[in-house]
A = this chain, B = another copy of it.
Amino acid sequence: MSRKNLETRNRILDATWKLLEERLDTGVRMADIARQAGISRQALYLHFSKRAELLIATTQYIDEMKGVDARLAPSRAAATGIERLDAFIDAWGNYIPEIYGVAKALLAMKESDEAAALAWSERMQAVRHGCEAAIKALARDGTLSPDHSQKQATDILWTMLSVRNWEQLRSECGWSQKRYIETTKLIARGTLVVEQG
């Protein structure tokens, strides 16, 4: 892939990102993206032959720009299970708003597009692994609530941290981001961590 080609590709990804951020109505068409990137609709198709492909590439692009891995480092470095749980909720919970635009578009698309469904599912599995690691750390410390198996605890945390829950609490319920993070931490602790006597 030549220099110019890559340059255009990045312009496209930037354009997609920007449009999905500002027009959350999911009414973002291929033609809009092409216009925003300053190229023809067909040039866009030369780079990404399907809309799903473009959306998937955009999420990866954002991950790269935002440095997901770096942001998850504190979570991995946590000494105790409880710290790890908090750090993970911080990291992922604060990452959601940054990817929300693309996430919403991808979520809408996965209903009808196989590739989009797969890409989203893989992404969510990665989050699940983060949840699982936190739960395992709790189990190791003996601080995992006896109410739940590791699997069940992971399922619960993963579900609590879904993009749709974030969406509902922030948009429908009018919670601030800070409130979302803190309340989620509180509930996660109360539900997943053993009562201390």
Listed in ascending order, the chain A residues whose CB lies under 8 Å from chain B are 26-27, 108, 111-112, 124, 147-148, 152, 155-156, 158-159, 162, 164-165, 168-169, 172-173, 175, 183, 186-187, 190-191
Contact A169 B175 (CB under 8 A): no
Interfacial chain B residues near A111, Cβ < 8 Å: 26, 108
Per the bound structure, the CA–CA distance linking A172 and B162 in Å amounts to 12
Per the bound structure, the CA–CA distance linking A27 and B168 in Å amounts to 26
Interfacial chain B residues near A156, Cβ < 8 Å: 183, 187
Q: Residue on B with the closest CB to A151?
A: B173
Per the bound structure, the CA–CA distance linking A173 and B190 in Å amounts to 21
Interfacial chain B residues near A152, Cβ < 8 Å: 183
Nearest first, the 3 A-B pairs at minimum CB distance are A155-B173, A164-B164, A26-B111
Interfacial chain B residues near A112, Cβ < 8 Å: 26-27
Q: What are some 9 contacts across the A-B interface (CB < 8 A)?
A: A26-B112, A27-B112, A147-B186, A147-B190, A159-B165, A159-B169, A159-B173, A165-B165, A187-B187
Beyond A155-B175, A159-B168, A159-B169, 7 extra complex contacts between A and B, CB < 8 Å: A108-B111, A147-B186, A155-B169, A155-B173, A158-B168, A158-B173, A164-B165
Choose from B165, B172, B183, B191 the contact partner of A187 (Cβ within 8 Å): B191
Interfacial chain B residues near A27, Cβ < 8 Å: 112
Interfacial chain B residues near A158, Cβ < 8 Å: 168, 173
Interfacial chain B residues near A173, Cβ < 8 Å: 155, 158-159
Kindly provide the distance from the CB of A22 to the nearest chain B CB, expressed in whole angstroms.
Answer: 17
Q: Residue on B with the closest CB to A148?
A: B183
Interfacial chain B residues near A108, Cβ < 8 Å: 108, 111
Q: Residue on B with the closest CB to A105?
A: B111
Q: Residue on B with the closest CB to A166?
A: B159
Kindly provide the distance from the CB of A166 to the nearest chain B CB, expressed in whole angstroms.
Answer: 10
Kindly provide the distance from the CB of A85 to the nearest chain B CB, expressed in whole angstroms.
Answer: 15
